[in-house]
Amino acid sequence: MAMIDEPLYPIAILIDELKNEDIQLRLNSIRRLSTIARALGEERTRKELIPFLSENNDDDDEVLLAMAEELGVFIPYVGGVEYAHVLLPPLETLCTVEETCVRDKAVESLCRIGVQMKENYLVDWFVPLVKRLAAGEWFTARVSSCGLFHIAYPSAPDQLKAELRSIYSQLCQDDMPMVRRAAASNLGKFAATVEQSYLKAEIMSIFDDLTQDDQDSVRLLAVESCAALGKLLEPLDCVAHILPVIVNFSQDKSWRVRYMVANQLYELCEAVGPEPTRVDLVPAYVRLLRDNEAEVRIAAAGKVTKFCRILGPQLPIQHILPCVKELSSDSSQHVRSALASVIMGMAPVLGKDATIDQLLPIFLSLLKDEFPDVRLNIISKLDQVNQVIGIDLLSQSLLPAIVELAEDRHWRVRLAIIEYIPLLASQLGVGFFDDKLGTLCMQWLEDKVFSIRDAAANNLKRLAEEFGPEWAMQHIIPQVLDKISNPHYLYRMTILQAISLLAPVLGVDITCQKLLPVVIASSKDRVPNIKFNVAKVLQSLVPILDQSVVENTIRPCLIELSEDPDVDVRYFANQALQASDQVMMSS
Task: Name the 3-class secondary structure at 188.
Answer: helix
Orientation of helix 294-302 relative to helix 333-343, angle to 10°: 10
Q: How far apart are the first and last CA of the chain?
A: 67
Nearer to other proteins, 186 or 395 (CB): 186
Cα–Cα distance between 32 and 20 in angstroms, integer?
14
- Shortest reach from residue 15's CB to other proteins, in Å: 6
In single-letter form, the type of residue at position 230 comes to: G
Distance (Å, whole) CA 417 – CA 189: 44
d(CA 27, CA 19): 10
Toward other proteins, which CB reaches closer, 253 or 409?
253
Pick the closer one to other proteins by CB: 144 or 377.
144
Q: At what angle do helices 294-302 and 304-311 cross, to 10 degrees?
A: 50
Q: How far is the CB of 38 from other proteins (least distance, A)?
A: 4
In the bound complex, what is the minimum distance in angstroms from residue 288's beta carbon to other proteins?
15
**Which amino acid belongs to residue 60?**
D
Do 519 and 536 form a contact (C-beta atoms < 8 A)?
Answer: no
Considering the complex, state which of residue 96 and residue 553 has its C-beta at the smaller distance from other proteins. Answer: 96
What CA–CA distances, in Å, run from 462 to 82, 459, 468? 61, 5, 10
13 vs 279 by CB, closer to other proteins: 13
The DSSP secondary-structure symbol of 371 reads S
- Chain mean position to CA 3: 54
What minimum distance in Å lies between the beta carbon of 216 and other proteins?
Answer: 5
CA 348 to chain centre: 25
For residues 51 and 431, which CB has a smaller minimum distance to other proteins in the complex? Answer: 51
Between 41 and 89, CB nearer to other proteins:
41
Nearer to other proteins, 220 or 382 (CB): 220
Q: C-beta of 252: minimal distance to other proteins in Å?
A: 8
Please give the single-letter amino acid code of residue 233: L
Residue whose C-alpha is closest to residue 223's, from 196, 179, 254: 254
The burial class, CB within 10 Å (0-12 / 13-18 / 19+), for 262 is: buried
* Shortest separation between residue 148's beta carbon and other proteins, angstroms: 18
Closest approach of other proteins to the CB of residue 17, in Å: 7
| Closer to other proteins by Cβ: residue 44 or 118 | 44
Comparison of 12 and 584: residue with beta carbon closer to other proteins:
12
Q: Which is nearer to other proteins, 135 or 584 (CB)?
A: 135
What minimum distance in Å lies between the beta carbon of 334 and other proteins? 11
* Shortest spacing between CB 581 and other proteins, in angstroms: 37
Q: What element of type H or E holds 260?
A: helix 255-272
Distances (CA, A) of 488 to 80, 350, 452, 460: 73, 53, 16, 21
Q: Give the C-alpha separation, 184 to 228, whole Å.
A: 11
Which residues of this chain interact with other proteins, rule CB under 8 A?
1-5, 7-22, 24-25, 27-28, 32, 35, 38-45, 48-49, 52, 55-56, 58, 96-98, 100, 137-140, 176-178, 181, 214-217, 252-257, 292-295
Residue type, 217: S
Task: Give SS3 for 505.
Answer: helix
Sign of the C-alpha dihedral, residues 316, 320, 322, 328? negative
- Residue 251 Cβ, how far from other proteins at the closest point, in Å? 12
Nearer to other proteins, 184 or 456 (CB): 184
Q: How many CB atoms lie within 10 A of CB 236?
A: 11
DSSP assignment of 53-84, as one string? HHH---S-HHHHHHHHHHHHT-GGGGTSGGGG
Please state, as a whole number, how many other Cβ atoms lie within 10 Å of the Cβ of residue 34: 14
CA distance 51 to 86: 9
* CB closer to other proteins, 98 vs 435: 98
The contacts of residue 41 (CB under 8 Å, 6+ apart) are none
How far apart, in whole angstroms, are the C-alpha atoms of residue 304 and residue 164? Answer: 40
* Residue 39: CB minimum distance to other proteins, A: 6
Backbone angles phi, psi at 250, to 5 degrees: -65, -10
Smallest distance, Å, CB 34 to other proteins? 11
Comparing CB distances to other proteins, the nearer of 3 and 567 is: 3
> Other C-beta atoms within 10 Å of 48: how many?
12
Q: How far is the CB of 21 from other proteins (least distance, A)?
A: 6
Nearer to other proteins (CB atom), residue 35 or residue 169: 35
